[in-house]
Chain A
Amino acid sequence: MIASDALSQQIIGVIVRVERLPPEHVTIDTAFSDLGLDSLARLNIVFALEEEFKVSVPNEAVAEIQTVRDAVRGIEMLLADQGASPAPL
């Protein structure tokens, strides 16, 4: 499945906002470790994504979200499972 650009941009927007990062530092290929983000920061990002997209990320999936792409894929799958479409930008 290829993530839509709109969804990717929305997720990057959440990450940039939550972690107060310069937007140019975050792309679809960025790994959270490259940004110096630890497990607690990842937890906060997942929380913000859950709030943004009104989804629930299972515990086991959290540890697997290591990159922005992982987050986009995960959110995309959860939204597909719900039969919902991404929130409008």
Chain B
Amino acid sequence: MTRAVAVTGIGVVSAFGRAFDDFWAGLAVGRSAIRPMTAVAPGSLRFRNGGEVPEFSASDYFDHRDAAQLDRFSQLASVAAREAVSSAGLDLSGETRDRTAVVMGCCSGGKLSEDEQYCNFYKLGTERVAPLTIPRAMGNAAASQISREHNITGPVYAVSTACASGNHAIGQAFWLVRNGVADVALAGGSEAPFTLGYLKSWDAMRIVSPDTCRPFARDRRGLILGEGAAVLVLESADRARARGATIWGEIAGFGMSSDADHLTAPSAVGAARAMRRALADAGQPEDAIGYINAHGTGTIANDRSEAQAIREVFGAHTSKLMVSATKSMHGHALGASAALEAAATLGALHHGIIPPTANFTEPDPCCDLDVVPNAPRAARVEWAMSNAFAFGGLNAVLVFRSI
């Protein structure tokens, strides 16, 4: 029997605010935090709304030297990690720091730093680019900052699998702890995509909604971008109990797959394969699952394909499943998204409240699921799943258990 892995701390920075409590308070009542973007003048974009972190100022959290070294995606990760460590009551001194891992997901690295400096260079004709552009923009910057702040000297790295990064990160950290490679792990994802050059590139994909995000609804028009970070503290359940930590839930299974097919179009076969592998890793049958936090982006293609994959895996049990897409409330925060959704799933298991799919209008016959439309639902669920399916055809699924 492999050892159980408990989640003892959660930190979240999101469109709802700079703490997990803000995030959960919004999700638990089904309130969407999608609103007009403020970081950029959207004049040349076909969309106006996003899930930006409100009123985040680096100087509230970092001295001027650290602030100058960190892109916003690392700053958000750092703040989420501080909350996760403090809420876990974790002591990272002594030998523990050598037995602790950090695995962080990120889709695109420090885009704000790059965009600003390249714009200055190309367009404004500055002769020099800021000397810290490279270390600010590197994809592992957030993982490194968390390691440096907390003196963590175990395995530390970043994974980049686009919109599945958060689940790949948490899943690998889960396996590190379960297999005894580390005793403790900080894992999650972060992303800060609100800079004009990057938003313009998303616009060109023609999958960003001009109004809001309505996953699984017949009149859905695409995704809404979000930003933020979420970090979980994982440790062996024995260790967590021995030190009397609060346990939010357990991570019980992780499954990965690749479509090996189209660059951006989702594959129900690949998604189903990842879900089955996560169930097998958890040692659970399909009908154990009560709630799925869907990838649910609100694009025509994803939601149809994901619904098909769920039906394929769960068969007759599908009608008993609650499936909600919290991206309708926090937006699609890319490399942070699956980590935010892991936090949402743990909140659901811990509080016995299923966050809804917000902004829902009318059902799409191609997405024949109980999507928990608009209103949260009180329900005690023992086993839950959280899906993430990325551009590039890379899929990662986690299975959670309530305690």
Using a CB–CB cutoff of 8 Å, the interface residues on chain A facing chain B are 38-40, 43, 47, 59, 62-63
A47, B200: Cα distance in complex, Å: 13
Closest CB of chain A to B188's CB: distance in Å?
A: 30
A to B CB contacts below 8 Å, 18 in the list = A38-B262, A38-B265, A39-B264, A39-B265, A40-B262, A40-B263, A40-B264, A43-B204, A43-B205, A43-B206, A47-B204, A59-B46, A59-B206, A59-B210, A59-B221, A59-B222, A62-B206, A63-B300
Closest CB of chain A to B200's CB: distance in Å?
A: 12
Closest CB of chain B to A66's CB: distance in Å?
A: 15
Closest CB of chain B to A44's CB: distance in Å?
A: 10
A63, B206: Cα distance in complex, Å: 10
For chain B, what secondary structure do more than half of its interface residues adopt (helix, strand, loop), or is it mixed?
loop
Find residues 242-272 in chain B having any chain A CB closer than 8 Å to their own CB: 262-265
A40, B301: Cα distance in complex, Å: 13
Q: Which residue of A lies closest to B208 (CB)?
A: A59
Name the A residues within 8 Å of B264 (CB-CB).
39-40
Closest CB of chain B to A46's CB: distance in Å?
A: 8
Name the B residues within 8 Å of A62 (CB-CB).
206
Closest CB of chain B to A24's CB: distance in Å?
A: 28
For chain A, what secondary structure do more than half of its interface residues adopt (helix, strand, loop), or is it mixed?
helix
A1, B265: Cα distance in complex, Å: 34
A21, B59: Cα distance in complex, Å: 55
Name the B residues within 8 Å of A63 (CB-CB).
300
Closest CB of chain B to A60's CB: distance in Å?
A: 8
Name the B residues within 8 Å of A47 (CB-CB).
204
A50, B221: Cα distance in complex, Å: 21
Kindly name the residue among A38, A40, A59, A63 whose own CB sees the greatest number of chain B CB atoms within 10 A: A59
A62, B221: Cα distance in complex, Å: 13
Mark interface residues in B175-215 (1 if CB within 8 Å of A CB, else 0): 00000000000000000000000000000111000100000
A38, B263: Cα distance in complex, Å: 10
A49, B263: Cα distance in complex, Å: 22
A62, B46: Cα distance in complex, Å: 14
Name the B residues within 8 Å of A38 (CB-CB).
262, 265
Closest CB of chain B to A88's CB: distance in Å?
A: 27
Closest CB of chain B to A47's CB: distance in Å?
A: 7
Name the A residues within 8 Å of B204 (CB-CB).
43, 47
Name the A residues within 8 Å of B46 (CB-CB).
59
Closest CB of chain A to B261's CB: distance in Å?
A: 11
Name the B residues within 8 Å of A40 (CB-CB).
262-264
